[in-house]
Amino acid sequence: MNSAFGLSNKNIIITGASSGIGRECAITFSQLGANVILIGRNKERLNKTFNKLKKGNHLIISQDIAKYAKLEEIVNTAVDKIGKISGFVHSAGTEMTLPLRSMQPSYYEDIFAINVIAGFELARIVSKKKYLDKNGASFVFISSIMGILGQAGKVGYCSSKGALISGTKAMALELAKKNIRVNCVLPGVVETEMTDRMFENLSEDSKKAIVEMHPLGLGKPNDIAYACAYLLSDVARWVTGTNLVIDGGYSAQ
Amino acid sequence: MKKKEFIDELKDALEIEDEDLEITLETNLKDLEEYDSLSVLSIIAMIDKNFGKQISSADFAKVTTVSSLMDLIGKEYFE
């Protein structure tokens, strides 16, 4: 592969690295030459990801990112052990399907804590000069096609993913002078542990309908990981504040 | 919980506003106009909130009448 598409000499923090898209990102980035810092709650599952990485200077930090006060410690440890940060992918996310009538303030707070606030907080911390690679950095937020389209029963999830999209644009403008690019990836439904759990709560008919809404079928985690790798690589040097839709044709209809 | 209270909670979850619509232990939930896949999620959330029990959609699929739903939750929860 053309080395411009590679990620050599880049140190990349990935949240939600213990499963799904986050795990696949870690594996793909390591194959492209990056050192990856895996963040997730479950150490055992992070180890599973770690064992699949191509050799490099990688690190596991097991931490609940909803504990905001711990986030600076995460970045500090990562920089101390691996080096300054050139990439950040916020893939940690939680899903909830519940009609509006049953939603409660605490449900929104839990969704936003993981999907949005922890990601923005990490971006704030990584942006500090003492942690940032001298050549700048690229931040990628894993939003969702649900961030621009609606679905019944997903007020909490859709609004959190939409917040990532608008936050990305504001952040891109603010951080351009530090040579930090900020972008969003908007996947359609990807086959991950999270969607498996969602599918458990749906009837066969609903599942079939969801699959049929994707002209190219459901996505695989590496469909998204490759898009993230592009945004993190130097070939994307002029790309910031944008939404990259990767959804098998879902939103073309 | 009293059975009457449970039926009121159920009506809330199903958004049944018709005061005159009588729901009894023998009412089959699937016969109700308001019953759909989203209302099932509302009922499951209501059960979690009131009884601290997580019912899977697969288990819920076997429910027919209000009484069978109460059996699924556990008879010991009701007076």
| Strand bridging mode A35-40 / A243-246 | unpaired
Torsion of CA A35, A39, A42, A43, to 10 degrees: 40
Query: Would the pLDDT of A2 be above 70?
Result: no
Q: Which residues in A lie closer than 8 A to residue B9 (C-beta atoms)?
A: none
In chain B, domain spans: 3-77
C-alpha distance from A15 to closest chain B C-alpha (Å): 28
Q: What is the pLDDT of residues A94-103, one digit of tens each?
A: 999 999 999 9
Query: Would the pLDDT of B17 be above 90?
Result: no
Q: What is the pLDDT of residues A38-96, one digit of tens each?
A: 999 999 999 999 999 999 999 999 999 999 999 999 999 999 999 999 999 999 999 99
* Stretch A177-189: mean pLDDT: 98
A31 falls within a domain = yes
pLDDT at A74: 97
CA A21 – CA B30 distance, rounded (Å): 37
Model-level ipTM above the cut of 0.90: no
Q: Is A206 in CB contact (< 8 Å) with chain B?
A: yes
Q: What is the pLDDT of residues B50-78, one digit of tens each?
A: 999 999 888 888 999 999 999 999 999 99
Domain count, chain A: 1
A251 falls within a domain = no
Q: Is B17 in CB contact (< 8 Å) with chain A?
A: no
Range of the domain at A227: 3-242
Q: Name the one residue in this structure whose structure tokens are 């030459």.
A: A33
Query: Would the pLDDT of A117 be above 90?
Result: yes
A82: CATH: 3.40.50.720
Distances (CA, A) of A241 to A63, A100, A170, B14, B25: 28, 30, 8, 42, 56
Name the amino acid, one letter, at A178: K
Q: Which residues in B lie closer than 8 A to residue A200 (C-beta atoms)?
A: 56-58
pLDDT at A215: 96
CA B35 – CA B26 distance, rounded (Å): 16
Q: What are phi and psi of A78, to 5 degrees?
A: -60, -45
Domain B3-77 class? mainly alpha
Q: Is A101 in CB contact (< 8 Å) with chain B?
A: yes
Contact A200 B37 (CB under 8 A): no
Contact B61 A203 (CB under 8 A): yes
pLDDT at A206: 82
Q: Which residues in B lie closer than 8 A to residue A153 (C-beta atoms)?
A: 38, 41
Taking phi over 0 as left and psi of -120 to 50 as alpha, with beta for the rest, A7 belongs to alpha
Contact A206 B37 (CB under 8 A): yes
* Stretch A216-224: mean pLDDT: 97
